[in-house]
Amino acid sequence: MCGYKDTQVAEGRTYYSEFVLTVCGEKSAIKFWGATLECQLRVHSDTLLVETIDSLPTGKNMQYKWTVWTVERIFFRNGKATKDLRVNRQIPKYNEQQIQAVLNEYRKAIKKTVKPTTVNNINMEMADRLFMSALSGSKQARAYFKDFYKHFGGLDGEYAEWYDDLIVKLKVWDSAVVSK
């Protein structure tokens, strides 16, 4: 493994980003993880676990908390590196009261705007909570989340990447297992 080691993201933890995993003597890499990812590595038996960590509003009172989003298992089968990627289905879910609070927050926000409003961190954090409400089983939150960009225009740069990342995460969540 060759890449960037970070001990400053969360106290007492070591994360890796922008790293490549190779087999000694092989010309091709097993996989490359980009600079925008934070991963922690663990070994279980003969399997390397690469856990992608994301800051999501999964803590107490929907506060942001470093949360395992996916776990990629890498192991050898018949001398060949094998990978599979699974989304962490154990992510803390919102209860009905929290979901209703998020839905109400969204309804109030869109009532304040006649035309799409400029997006900001506060609106994007609301998108994160809509996303988590959708993962928690709310069909209404899912619909609001998918329509978010219609009410909060100006999704470019960092905010477009943030929203696009959430859209991809929702698709990954909806698929049972992604294998490669």
Alpha-carbon distance 34 to 21, whole Å?
Answer: 12
Split at pLDDT 50, 70, 90, the class of 56 is: very high
pLDDT at 139: 97
Alpha-carbon distance 12 to 8, whole Å?
Answer: 9
Alpha-carbon distance 170 to 152, whole Å?
Answer: 19
Tally DSSP H helices, then E strands, for the chain. Answer: 4, 8
Task: Take residue 116 and report the two structure tokens written for it.
Answer: 């799409």
The β-bridge partners of 6 are: 15
Give the model confidence (pLDDT) of 110-151 as tens digits. 887 655 566 788 889 999 999 999 999 999 999 999 999 888
E strand or H helix at 141: helix 139-151
- Domain segments of the chain as ranges: 2-92, 96-174
